[in-house]
Amino acid sequence: MRGRLENKRVLVTGASRGIGAAIACACASEGAEVFAHASRPSPDLAKLATDFPAGRVTLVVEDLLVPGAGARLFAAAAAKAGRLDAVINNAGVYLPTPIGGEVEHWDTGWADTLAINLKAPADICRAAIAHFRSHGGGRVINIASRAGHRGDGLDYAAYAGSKGALLAMTKTYARALAGEKIYFYAISPGWVETRMAPEDIAARARAVAEIPLGRVAAPEEVGRLAAFIASEDCPASSTGATFDINGASYVR
């Protein structure tokens, strides 16, 4: 049985663990050739490549905190692929920016969050648009957050702000480029079972208590959704849509 992404080439950022690894695995399982990115080499990233047949997963390393890294990453992946059909911007950080903390911590937290969560995806989107214009179209999926809609805790304003901006950018490009068969989508997860999820018992209980489904999402749920959106089974008419995956904890 053919997968829904057979003969497609997909770039996934932040693919060494968590949601990114689940997305890369889901796309590869659906038949895609996956270009899996991480900021640095790691055993987790190496294992991802060995979990699938040779050539199914290709590793690309680039530190997205460094200026210009997004453009370099896309260029490296495109050079290896020849043609990319979809890009999934998943890489992100969840850094505290306390109002009452040291100003140096505040400045660094905001700068690093915006560099990785917004500027790098923006640079990748810019490069992807030029690439897709030369190849008859393509799809971009930006992994945002529930926080981009409803906000986050006081100490995580930078994270919420970066994800809100990512959503606005996604909608802007979707509106502008649909006629060129370049489609943009966003996924906005709530809590997912990754290192970002609350580990403290009391904090975990509070997080789960506000989720009507009764649990946080599994990374594989986000992965399967991303693979579907990257495929032509997801209708072009849904371009510009944001897909929530938060157990009905925030219903828009």
Residues carrying an active site annotation = 159
Strands across the sheet with 242-245, in order? 57-61, 33-38, 9-12, 86-89, 138-143, 182-189, 242-245
Q: What is the DSSP letter of 117?
A: I
Rg (C-alpha) for the chain, rounded Å, is 17
Q: Which residue stretches of 41-156 are H helix?
A: 43-50, 69-81, 103-114, 120-134, 147-150
Spatial separation of the C-alpha atoms in residues 92 and 12, rounded to whole Å: 12
- The first and second tokens of residue 186, run together, are 């966003």
Sign of CA dihedral 195, 64, 129, 52: negative
- The first and second tokens of residue 38, run together, are 């991480």
Torsion angle, CA of 14/19/23/25, rounded to 10 degrees? 100
